[in-house]
Amino acid sequence: MAGRTRLTQRRDEVVETFRAESTQHECAYLLQGASGPVLVYVQQVDDPEQARRAFATSQLPIDQDHKQVMAEVREGPAEMELLFDISAGGD
């Protein structure tokens, strides 16, 4: 809840980084797994490579904060099974 409140208070910064990354929508979920919490992060972008580059090189305070938090909580990729991947555009 605290993270969501902070982002709501920093909406202008969020919109600025969305523009740089071509991001349309982001969601983050914290799931309680058998071996501990799992962060599920979903991002809808127009150009994935642009989003990756913009975030990697960003000096915006909100992106620097995000990088620090992710470094603290990330242990590596989790094992997962793709259940479906469907696009209305047929991609």
Give the pLDDT score at 87. Answer: 81
Question: In this predicted structure, which of 48-52, 64-68, 77-81 has the lowest mean pLDDT?
Answer: 77-81
The reply to whether 68 falls in a domain is yes
The answer to the question of residue 81 being in a domain is no
In a domain, 89, yes or no: no
Does some domain include residue 83?
Answer: no
CA distance 21 to 17: 6
> Which residues are CB-contacts of 27 (< 8 A; sequence separation ≥ 6)?
41, 42
pLDDT reported for residue 69: 84
Q: Indicate whether 1 pLDDT > 60.
A: no
Do the domain assignments include residue 85? no
- Residue span of the structural domain in which 18 resides: 2-73
Which residue shows structure tokens 């599920």? 40
Confidence bin at 5 (pLDDT 50/70/90):
low
pTM for this prediction: 0.70
Number of structural domains (the chain) is 1
